[in-house]
A and B are shown apart, each in its own frame.
Chain A
């Protein structure tokens, strides 16, 4: 009996892998930070399996790759630094002076500088990653977290979780030029690819605010309603919008769902069930797959973007937080 059961599992796994293979023209590498494991889990999209686990500093959260994919940047929040890993070897090759408690960051469109939210220190630090030099420190609200960059790289947006604002920062002068009040505990900021709109999630407010970037006004608030789930459990965090601007995905935290949103009409079309306490999202560069970190169930869900379907869940380390995908 038990043999038969195992065989069944194997077949299912193989089918899943084949499906992934046939759907994906190119294989990418997915990097997942494990906040309590102090590691990065490495996933190969060809097999949708973990191929490695790399040691990094304490409380790894924000994660991103260099433009060429050769380096991986990881916020080691409790070590007050950013670890830079060689993606060929999985070893930490150097660390950046990030300022205290780096949580999230975003790389300039040219691959430098790196804009870092220092959660415990109410500031944004701008780092030249080649010279490992702090270019500027910008005071923002309490508990800065979300970091969004306009496609032309000119406007940086930081959200502060306790001040409840999106701070607009000019990246040439490093001055705060405007502040837009959003709902409680803003976690993530994402520009549309045309740079016209900014989406900001509010974890406690339970909403996503759409901000007109030119007017710097909230023009729409997206709310969520899921049968059988308390409104209190719907806590939007990570947001990703497709390059063609038609579809958006929002991770809803302890609601254990990803919302699929029509990015033109702002209507929620579907809720995809994923693992527990889903936080951050990342597309593969071809936008065929979306990966989500599910902190409480210690796994990553894989979404087929075209079909709006969850096709697999992959166990990773303890408390997965951030996710980034290699550019090639």
Chain B
């Protein structure tokens, strides 16, 4: 099981946890619950966290699985509530400033506004280019009180590599982490021969690149590659003529598993049960690697699922979880350092002593070399959890979590 690829003899284990000294004893707690999540501006003492996002385009009324309007935002609201419940005992209060972008308002404008109001923590649910633009625009602002940015939606490996920024922390796993999680499972199952099908978008090509790298890392074989050229058939209506060439294009390929690279969800769901040979499908559809799923209930996740459902009236989605983890990073760091001072916390997130408990069975930490959040990745099919990466047997001198994604010796990131 390829463990030898990663095991080294050095037994330097990085211990999770808060380190040995965290001990806080406080006087009688204020019994008055903290102010609501969206406390009024200017109530002094509140730590404000800005959330910038593109609102979902209104879906067709008949779209059964449309993204909810408050996707991500609801996760931030729950996290601010959680921060405030804990803050009752540490005398720290939090407020959320939500900014939905429109055609006329760029992410950079929104970020400058928030920073101008004194906000030092920005949570972005934005594409990679916007993340970079905001990171560069607010760099050096705040005169010693550096602005910290959390990327919750852009999985692009370049943000953790050549285009990394010191003021950005990545909660969402990189594409490399996602495809490594799948590849570890395939290795465990001895499924070796991969048929890679790549969609027409840039993101699809980036996903395919990540998968190729993972295949190489875990000694899987890509026996065939084809582009998807038949359009968004997964979104076609029942009376749309079926593209017969799409049904036969898997003919004559020798493979164990079809890997679909379709981040826009346009056609990947069309492939399962339509391959000529009966083969399972994985990648961006079918068996996927993600951060959250309705069937996740271990490690206390059931409590987060319930709390979220009561708050938002719907199931928690991966983006909700990622935004929640970003906002909780601020709250958790403030509890651990006993201050919400941005000058202290901006340096603390990358400290190995900082850890975030986030319903994954282990404490999560940010990698110092690229600021990516280390995390177990769940591998799920639509109705069930299948496994959790890293798989047993994949070891690493630091933590098995570092078998997922780009490791220190390979990183292209220079802060």
Contacts and interface: CB of A to CB of B under 8 A. Distances in A.
A207 interface: yes
Contact of B23 (A142, A178, A217): A217
29 contacts: A139-B33, A141-B86, A142-B82, A143-B303, A160-B86, A162-B300, A162-B357, A163-B89, A163-B335, A176-B28, A179-B29, A180-B24, A181-B335, A184-B355, A185-B357, A204-B16, A204-B299, A205-B16, A205-B18, A205-B357, A216-B25, A217-B25, A221-B20, A230-B400, A231-B13, A231-B15, A232-B362, A232-B399, A254-B361
B335 A164 contact: yes
Contacts of B89: 141, 163, 165, 167, 176, 179
Nearest to A59: B302
A83 interface: no
Contacts of A181: 22-24, 335
Contact of B31 (A142, A176, A205): A176
A164 B20 CA distance: 14
A204 B362 contact: yes
Contacts of B362: 204, 232
Nearest to B23: A218
B88 interface: yes
A162 B82 contact: yes
A101 interface: yes
Given A164-B357, A216-B25, A218-B23, A183 B18 contact: yes
Interface in A172-198: 175-185
Contacts of B299: 204
Contacts of A205: 16-18, 357, 363
Interface string A196-220: 0000001011110000000011100
B307 interface: yes
B301 to A, nearest CB: 11
Which residue of B82, B303, B399 has the most chain A CB atoms within 10 A of its CB atom?
A: B303
Given A142-B82, A184-B17, A204-B16, A161 B300 contact: yes
A141 B15 CA distance: 25
Nearest to A206: B17
A183 B16 CA distance: 10
B84 to A, nearest CB: 10
A180 B300 contact: no
B334 to A, nearest CB: 12
B310 interface: yes
Given A139-B31, A204-B16, A232-B400, A179 B307 contact: no
Interface of A: 101, 119-120, 122, 139, 141-143, 160-165, 167, 175-185, 202, 204-207, 216-218, 221, 223, 230-232, 235, 254
Interface string B154-168: 000000000000000
A223 B20 CA distance: 10
Contacts of A167: 29, 89
Contacts of B20: 221
Contacts of B29: 167, 176, 179
A282 to B, nearest CB: 22
Contacts of B399: 232
B57 interface: no
A206 B28 CA distance: 28
Contact of B85 (A142, A184, A221): A142
B25 A175 contact: no
A220 to B, nearest CB: 10
Given A139-B33, A205-B363, A120 B306 contact: yes
Contacts of A232: 16, 361-362, 399-400
B303 A163 contact: no
Contacts of B26: 178-179
B188 to A, nearest CB: 16
A296 to B, nearest CB: 10
Contacts of B85: 122, 141-142, 163
Question: What secondary structure prevails in chain B residues at the interface with A?
Answer: loop
Nearest to A221: B20
Contact of B310 (A120, A141, A176): A120
B31 A175 contact: yes
A162 B303 CA distance: 10
A184 B357 contact: yes
Contacts of B22: 181-183
Which residue of B17, B88, B335, B355 has the most chain A CB atoms within 10 A of its CB atom? B17
A206 B362 CA distance: 9
A35 to B, nearest CB: 10
A134 B306 CA distance: 24
Nearest to A103: B303
Nearest to B87: A163
Contacts of A221: 20
A237 to B, nearest CB: 11
A184 B363 contact: yes
B223 to A, nearest CB: 34
Contacts of B15: 206, 223, 231
A176 B25 CA distance: 12
Given A162-B82, A165-B86, A232-B399, 5 more contacts: A179-B90, A184-B355, A184-B357, A231-B16, A232-B400
Contacts of A122: 85
B399 to A, nearest CB: 7
B363 A204 contact: yes
A182 B310 CA distance: 28
Contact of B303 (A120, A164, A177, A206): A120
Interface string B1-29: 00000000000010111101011111111
Nearest to B362: A232
A73 B163 CA distance: 58
A175 B27 CA distance: 12
Nearest to B27: A178
A120 B28 contact: no
A119 B20 CA distance: 27
A167 B29 CA distance: 10
A112 B363 CA distance: 38
A184 B26 CA distance: 18
B191 to A, nearest CB: 24
A179 B89 CA distance: 7
Contact of A206 (B16, B86, B306, B310): B16
A143 B89 CA distance: 14
Nearest to A209: B23
A2 B238 CA distance: 58
Interface in B18-66: 18, 20, 22-29, 31, 33
